[in-house]
């Protein structure tokens, strides 16, 4: 007891994991000025703290999505699968498209790990279940829920950057396939433009069979387009603000 009191007096934290995650969360959140980051943090914590880290359903994050809803960015929304680095290298440099990771919740949680434990109020940032260890882990459920909410507000001409260097650019088990594409609603979404990122050793083009599956899954009435774009072209467009967004590909 004496040590704890001394620790508190000296400002030594009893919950280093909680403090560190909260610090990262609020630092990143503050870049989005119109939001109450303290409140959003409290709502976030409620989703998983005190719970079995393999039994946090995506619905646990409903209050979080309500507290920081996604705003539709018609004609500018960019989805992606297996292209995390190339898409964000581009969106970090040019203000052409908005990915989930450019929004408040997406950018705050990007790259972070977190979980709780039954019977404890503590937050852990290590020793948490991995992505595939159990499906209902707090991190995976967050990305599923956030991706669903982001796709729900998709509107106008929507883009998706897929990887042309792999055999199956439209992976049926991906978040893009299972959560996002199936939510595109033809009353809101006019077209889907697949940007297939190719490299010198391209293995796939727009005739890839998985892209046929994609078209089958797409709500009737949404127009489909596929454009093969080399990774170097995307990088060049990212580096040159003179090229208009619509002229990149
Ligand atoms: P992805 P998605 N182990 O590139 O379509 C650890 O497959 O799924 O694209 N982490 C994983 C694993 C795994 N087995 N699988 C996926 N991830 C994590 C939200 C990892 O962080 C956006 F709106 C990887 O970089 C996109 O349109 C990330 O999930 C869409 O979902 C993406 O996996 C991209 O998801």
ipTM value for the complex: 0.94
The single-letter DSSP state of residue 237 is H
**What is the pLDDT, as a whole number, of residue 151?**
98
Retrieve residue 196's tokens.
């297939």
Q: Which atom of ligand 1 is nearest to the CA of 175?
A: 8
Residue of minimum CA distance from atom 19 in ligand 1: 147
Could you tell me the distance, in angstroms and rounded to a whole number, from the CA of residue 12 to the centre of ligand 1? 37
- CB-side exposure of 140: number of CA atoms within 13 Å? 17
**What is the pLDDT, as a whole number, of residue 200?**
86
Whole-angstrom distance, CA of residue 245 vs CA of residue 241: 9
C-alpha distances in angstroms, 144 versus 32, 139, 148? 22, 9, 6
Could you tell me the distance, in angstroms and rounded to a whole number, from the CA of residue 81 to the centre of ligand 1? 7
Whole-angstrom distance, CA of residue 185 vs CA of residue 154: 8
What is the CB < 6 Å shell around ligand 1? 79-82, 84, 100, 131-132, 147, 150, 174-176, 180
Could you tell me the distance, in angstroms and rounded to a whole number, from the CA of residue 175 to the centre of ligand 1? 6
Mutate to test the pocket of ligand 1, among 88, 176, 193 (most ligand atoms within 8 A of CB): 176
Residue of minimum CA distance from atom 3 in ligand 1: 131
Residue of minimum CA distance from atom 12 in ligand 1: 131
User: Do the Cβ atoms of 91 and 248 come closer than 8 Å?
Assistant: no
Q: What does the chain come to in residues? A: 249
Q: Which atom of ligand 1 is nearest to the CA of 150?
A: 23
Q: Is 95 exposed, middle or buried (0-12, 13-18, 19+ CB in 10 A)?
A: exposed
**What is the pLDDT, as a whole number, of residue 14?**
79
**What is the pLDDT, as a whole number, of residue 5?**
84
Whole-angstrom distance, CA of residue 229 vs CA of residue 233: 7
Q: Which atom of ligand 1 is nearest to the CA of 160?
A: 27
Whole-angstrom distance, CA of residue 64 vs CA of residue 113: 17
**What is the pLDDT, as a whole number, of residue 206?**
98
Q: Which atom of ligand 1 is nearest to the CA of 176?
A: 5
**Per-residue confidence in pLDDT tens, the chain, 249 aa:** 888 788 778 877 778 888 899 999 999 999 999 999 999 999 999 999 999 999 999 999 999 999 999 999 999 999 999 999 999 999 999 999 999 999 999 999 999 999 999 999 999 999 999 999 999 999 999 999 999 999 999 999 999 999 999 999 999 999 999 999 999 999 999 999 999 999 987 789 999 999 999 999 999 999 999 999 999 999 999 999 999 999 999
**What is the pLDDT, as a whole number, of residue 15?**
84
Q: In the chain, count H helices and then E strands.
A: 10, 4
Whole-angstrom distance, CA of residue 154 vs CA of residue 74: 7
**What is the pLDDT, as a whole number, of residue 202?**
72
């Amino acid at each position: 007891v004496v040590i704890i009191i001394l620790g508190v007096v000296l400002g030594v934290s009893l919950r280093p994991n909680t403090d560190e995650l909260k610090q990262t969360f609020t630092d990143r959140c503050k870049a989005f000025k119109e939001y109450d980051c303290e409140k959003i943090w409290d709502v976030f914590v409620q989703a998983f703290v005190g719970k079995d880290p393999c039994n946090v359903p995506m619905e646990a994050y409903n209050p979080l999505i309500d507290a920081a809803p996604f705003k539709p960015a018609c004609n500018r929304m960019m989805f992606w699968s297996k292209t995390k680095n190339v898409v964000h290298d581009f969106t970090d440099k040019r203000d052409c498209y908005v990915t989930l990771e450019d929004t408040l919740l997406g950018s705050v949680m990007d790259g972070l790990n977190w979980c709780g434990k039954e019977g404890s109020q503590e937050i852990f940032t290590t020793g948490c279940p991995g992505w595939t260890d159990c499906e209902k882990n707090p991190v995976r459920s967050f990305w599923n829920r956030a991706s669903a909410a982001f796709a729900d507000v998709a509107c106008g001409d929507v883009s998706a950057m897929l990887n042309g260097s792999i055999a199956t650019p439209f992976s049926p088990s991906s978040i893009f396939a299972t959560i996002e594409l199936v939510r595109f609603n033809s009353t809101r979404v006019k077209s889907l433009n697949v940007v297939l990122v190719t490299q010198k050793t391209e293995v796939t083009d727009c005739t890839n069979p998985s892209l046929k599956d994609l078209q089958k899954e797409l709500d009737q009435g949404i127009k489909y387009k596929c454009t093969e774009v080399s990774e170097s072209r995307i990088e060049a467009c990212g580096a040159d603000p003179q090229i208009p967004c619509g002229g990149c590909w």
